[in-house]
Structure 1
Amino acid sequence: MVPGSSPSTNGGSGGGEPGPAARPFRRRRRNRHGRGLRGELLPAHLAGSRTRAERFDDWVMESAQRLERLWGEDIQTYQFIVQEIPDGLEELVRRGGAVPLASSSAGSGPRPPVITIYRRPVESTARGLVPVNELIHDVVVEQLASLKGMDPESIDPTYGRFRPL
């Protein structure tokens, strides 16, 4: 813009509005042909807009709800936690140990029993072989069975149906 000239004589939009170079980037970014800024690609209420971590959390809750239908109120005493990776994973891998998919700890006193599912190891194990939500359910069933001292098949009769032979 030439100093001392008005926007209407400089090829601006007229009407006293500053030209495109004077507007901030955000305002002129997607305002071509008067359309304004574009909205989100997927609205928040659609499943595709959720992150992998949010979907994983939902699958863990669905697994707990499936077990609640089988076992009733007893499952509500358990606490389900999702963690990205196990603590001390680097040391475990360095020693050549297998990466755990989950862990569990029995409750003591007022503290409830806790089942912790590790998101990254479960996702990498399921990659292409098993649906992630079914592997999550199998892992939750295994942990619950170890806490109760039972076989996984007695916890949920559908246990292991998606595992490759």
Structure 2
Amino acid sequence: MPRSRDRHGRGIRGPLALPHTWSSRPVPLRHPSRTDFFTDCVTDAMSAIAAVNPTALDGVLVGVEDVPQWSPTWSADRVPMSAALEGTGDSKAQVVLYERPLEHRAVTRAQLRRLVYRTIVEQLSALTGTPLAELTGIDDADWDL
């Protein structure tokens, strides 16, 4: 019996069992799914903001939706990436990120990570009136670089 896999569709593809701790073969690493990676990006961005300004996220909820509700006032190439909703007396302020438009604008996963961070920071700044420098530790002049 040959040791290599049959790649012509007639046999098993890959090993019969996953490797375990007693085996010398390492466990194959899997890339996180699209949704898991996006959730990690949002969590990392919120952690980075909280590390620079611990009170920046007080009273603000950050949520993720797949796509925004369609509005007839939008043109076909101008779909929002996020929304900031003011808080009322009984509800907190909200920052809503739209996953698919953000993914569509980023080419790589590294660009998506930066875009999610920048989007959250800009929405927080607009919502709370806090300057970008206080949320990121970066001067406003260097923000566009």
Same fold (TM over 0.5): yes
Q: CA deviation at 1:96?
A: 4.8
Moved more, 98-107 or 138-147: 98-107
| Pair 1:81 & 2:63 matched | yes
Query: After TM superposition, which residue ranges in structure 1, 4 or more long, deviate above 2 angstroms?
Result: 36-40, 150-155, 157-163
Q: Per the alignment, do residues 67 and 119 of structure 1 end up closer, same or farther by CA in structure 2, a change over 3 Å counting?
A: same
**Residues in 1 aligned to 2:92 and 2:33: alpha-carbon distance in whole angstroms:** 29
1:18 alignment partner in structure 2: none
Q: CA deviation at 1:105?
A: 0.7
Q: Per the alignment, do residues 71 and 87 of structure 1 end up closer, same or farther by CA in structure 2, a change over 3 Å counting?
A: same
Percent of matched pairs sharing the same residue: 20
1:105 alignment partner in structure 2: 85
- Bigger Rg, structure 1 or 2: 1
Q: Which amino acid aligns with 1:72?
A: P
2:45 alignment partner in structure 1: 63
**Residues in 2 aligned to 1:125 and 1:152: alpha-carbon distance in whole angstroms:** 22
2:16 alignment partner in structure 1: 37
State whether residues 92 and 98 of structure 1, in contact with CA within 8 Å, keep that contact through their aligned partners in structure 2.
no
2:99 alignment partner in structure 1: 119
- 5+ residue gaps, structure 2, are 1-10, 20-25
- Aligned counterpart for 2:115 among listed residues 128, 135, 149: 135
- 5+ residue gaps, structure 1, are 1-28, 31-35
Q: Which amino acid aligns with 2:16?
A: L
**Residues in 2 aligned to 1:73 and 1:154: alpha-carbon distance in whole angstroms:** 10
Q: Which has the higher helix share?
A: 1
1:148 alignment partner in structure 2: 128
Aligned length: 127
- TM-score using structure 2 length: 0.69
Q: CA deviation at 1:43?
A: 6.1
Q: Which amino acid aligns with 1:37?
A: L
Moved more, 152-161 or 134-143: 152-161
Q: Per the alignment, do residues 128 and 59 of structure 1 end up closer, same or farther by CA in structure 2, a change over 3 Å counting?
A: closer
**Residues in 1 aligned to 2:34 and 2:108: alpha-carbon distance in whole angstroms:** 16
Deviations 1:55-110 (A, max 9, x none): 10111011111111122144143211111111116x354x4562111101121123
2:3 alignment partner in structure 1: none
**Residues in 2 aligned to 1:144 and 1:153: alpha-carbon distance in whole angstroms:** 12
Q: CA deviation at 1:129?
A: 10
Q: CA deviation at 1:123?
A: 1.3
- TM-score using structure 1 length: 0.61
